[in-house]
Structure formats: structure tokens, C-alpha cells
Structure 1
Amino acid sequence: MKRDETKKIMQRLKLNEESVSTEQIRMIRTKIDQASDRKSTLFMLTSPQYEAEKSIISTKLAKSYAEQGKKVLLVDANIRNPSLHHWFQISNDSGLSNVILNNEEIHLYYKETLVPGLVVLPAGPSPLNLSDVWVTSKIKDMVSKCEAEFEVVIFEAPAFLTASDSQILANHCDGVILVVKANKTKKEDTLKTKEYLERTNNQIVGVIYQTG
């Protein structure tokens, strides 16, 4: 990634301060750190229905951890509608789907960024049958590889109630971060998501509320 492209990314992060404040991100990070005593931590960031600006939020959170000196992997797990490759201006010709389907190593597909300690794994091509990707045993293997190599892993996942992808991935993460948007996210959808996660013993470690 070119240096001027990275500057543009950082500028866009600052421009979105009103929608998702850096302080809000830090508060979520602090709460997560207090709740976990594990050597490595894996989170899934999702929203109930509305896609929201998850790429902005996941990037800010990943950057926040990297600034602490941690080795961070940011994964675009939204294979149906990927966005992180646009955000970081990298190729999406290969990525997460290759790792899962072919049982390959993560380092073959992740992309370095100019943020020290932060690398990005794009979603990769969408297969004809997405059910081939979201197989519990395959997801478990992929998550284990992430956990072995990184201190913090953040999966940006599809809206929780629109596909089973997020529901499967949540079972292999340490916690879920919910993004809700003012005047967009319905209260009943948020409650449905919360109830499902509680039923499956998945912990909500934070909620980010977008106002802009």
C-alpha cells in the first residue's frame, strides 16, 4: 500500500469521528481487555440487520489495538458483500475464502498495512455455494490458525439476522461486538440478536452506537 493511500484512509477515519468516535472505540477496547485474560483474543463485529459502517468501526478498533503494540489481524468475513478491500485499496482476488476452502495458511493471503502491527485478510472470491465455506470444522481450523499467529483477531461479519454466516462464526469467537445505528436499527432486531447470542452462550462484549 502506498503511503499517500494510507494517509487518505486515516483522513477518512477522522472525518467519521462524529459517527463513530475514537473515544467510543477506546472504551470498547478497554472493556474487552478487562473481560479477557487470554493470550490471544478473537472478536466478531456485526450488526442486527442494517449493515452500518462496520468497515470504519472495525478498522478503528483494529488500529486502536495495533497502537498498543499488539499484533492484529483484521478479517473481512463478509464474503457475500465484502468492503475492507475497498477501504484499504487492496485486491480481493484471494483471501479468507481461499484459506477456508483449501485449508491454506493465512500468511499467504493477508496484506500488510502501513499501520505497524496491523494486517488485513480480505474476503476473497465468493464460491458458487457459500455453504461450502461456512462448515463448522473448516471455520474451527481457520480460527485456530488466526489465534496461533495473532494477539488480536477482528472478524467483520455480515448482518447477524440476514445470514447464518455470522451465527456460525460467533460460536468460534471469544465475543461479539454489536453495531447499531440511530434511526436505522430496529429495537426488535437488536433484541432478537441479543436473545440468539445468549441462547448459544455467545458473549456480547460491547455495543457501538452510531449517531451520524
Structure 2
Amino acid sequence: MFKKKDQTKKIMQDPISNEQIRIIRTNLESISEGKSAIFMVTSTSEDGEKSIISSKLAISFVEQGKSVLLVDANIRNPSLHHWFQMQNQSGFTNVIVNEDEIKLHIRETYVPGLFILPTGPIPLNSSEIWVTNKIIELVRNCESEFDVVIFEAAPYLTAADSQVLASQCDGVILVIKENKTKKEELLKTKENLERTNNKIFGVIYQTG
């Protein structure tokens, strides 16, 4: 198992461009204007490496003195708990389905100022989760406690999950993968987001 400092180093030294991360962070800071920033990281139809991108963005904000909550809302393919070496026994789904207090399931990480809300157990009926008023309540609770809240979501075109969540966020970070993301899927995602008045705050382009 990695030592804590080694795991942070592993995340931050991943070949995904640190410059892209810094540019997006700067854009988000200018948009939030002192209030909590709530945004979602998604892709078109491939999961790609969203978890490492979400983690790097979160750590980047923490390095600027922000308190950050990283939420794994990708119930179809949860992975953030692996990066931060924690169990996925409870989390996001407990807060939504059981209406638990969010603080019962938030986990501290080895990065001071960064907290994780893992996915938690997946219910047999996922429609129990994506109920607008429940998502709204979750977002309100998150933004009252943290400067920045990052939701990692399922690929936008493959699940309605991301579309429900996007409508409650300030904007979206879109991840595209070289030689994998199809142009028509990218355009469709962009059109859908714009049609529902969801802002695209930035794009991360993954090579290799």
C-alpha cells in the first residue's frame, strides 16, 4: 500500500496536464467570486480517467487554501475511494436514499482540507437516487460546509444521472480522450448542456 505522501505525489505527477488543471481552477475561482463553487466532472460516453482529473482538481484547490469536498456520484463505476485508500461502505447513496446527515459519511483524506463522500452501496433501483429535490438538498448541505464541491459523475450520454446532477451545479468540466472521444458525441454533449443552460467551465484533453 502507498504511503500517504507517496499517494498524493502519484496523483499530482500523473501525466494529465497540470497546466490544464491550473487554467480551469483559475477560471472557476473567477466565476465563484467568493461563494461556494459547485461543479461536475463528466465525459461523453467513456469513463476515461475522470477520477484522477477530479482528484487533481480537488488537490489544486486545497493548495489554494480552499476546503474541498469531492463526491463520487458515479454510481455505475465508483473509483475515488481507491485513489484515496478508503472503504466504500457508505456515502452518497446513504445520504440520498436514507436521508442521512451528510457529515456521517464524509471521510477525511490524507490531504488536509480535502474530504471525500464515497459512492456507498448501490440500491437495486437507481431511480431512488436521482430525484431532483433530494439532489438539491444534498447540494445545499455541501455548499454550506465547503468552499468547493466537485461531483464526479457518470459519462453524460450514457446515463440520465449526470443530466440530473448537472442542473444543480454551477457548471461542468468536460473530459475528452484522444482517439476515443467521438466528435459527434462531443458536439451532442455540448448541445445538450447548452440547451439546458448548463455552463461548460472547461475541457480537459487527455492524450495517449
TM-score (norm 2): 0.96
Work out which of the residue numbers 151, 166, 173 in structure 1 matches 2:147.
151
Work out which of the residue numbers 8, 11, 14 in structure 1 matches 2:9.
11
Amino acid at match of 1:13: I
* 1:158 partner SS: coil
Matched, 1:30 2:4: no
1:21 paired residue number: 17
> Deviation of residue 22 (structure 1)?
1.4
1:78 paired residue number: 74
Q: What's the Cα RMSD here?
A: 1.3
* 1:168 partner SS: helix
> Deviation of residue 15 (structure 1)?
4.4
Matched, 1:133 2:129: yes
Decide whether the 8 Å contact of 2:12 with 2:56 is kept in 1.
Answer: no
Decide whether the 8 Å contact of 1:98 with 1:104 is kept in 2.
Answer: yes
> Deviation of residue 10 (structure 1)?
2.1
* 2:119 partner SS: coil
1:64 paired residue number: 60
Instruction: Tell me the alpha carbon deviations over residues 147-169 of structure 1, each in whole angstroms, 9 at most, x when there is no partner.
Output: 11111000000000000000000
- Which aligned segments of 4 or more residues in structure 1 are displaced greater than 4 angstroms? none
Matched, 1:48 2:50: no
Amino acid at match of 2:85: Q
Tell me how far apart the structure 1 counterparts of residues 123 and 152 of structure 2 sit (CA, whole Å): 19
1:111 paired residue number: 107
- Percent of aligned pairs sharing the same letter: 62
Amino acid at match of 1:92: N
Tell me how far apart the structure 1 counterparts of residues 104 and 91 of structure 2 sit (CA, whole Å): 8
Question: Unaligned regions of 5+ residues in structure 2, if any?
Answer: none
Decide whether the 8 Å contact of 2:37 with 2:148 is kept in 1.
Answer: yes
TM-score (norm 1): 0.95
Change (3 A) 1:116 1:14: closer
Question: Unaligned regions of 5+ residues in structure 1, if any?
Answer: none
> Deviation of residue 110 (structure 1)?
1.1
Matched, 1:178 2:151: no
Tell me how far apart the structure 1 counterparts of residues 12 and 132 of structure 2 sit (CA, whole Å): 38
Tell me how far apart the structure 2 counterparts of residues 100 and 38 of structure 1 sit (CA, whole Å): 28
The residue correspondences of 1:184-203 to structure 2 (distance < 5 A) are 184-203=180-199
Tell me how far apart the structure 2 counterparts of residues 42 and 210 of structure 1 sit (CA, whole Å): 23
> Deviation of residue 38 (structure 1)?
4.8
Decide whether the 8 Å contact of 1:71 with 1:152 is kept in 2.
Answer: yes
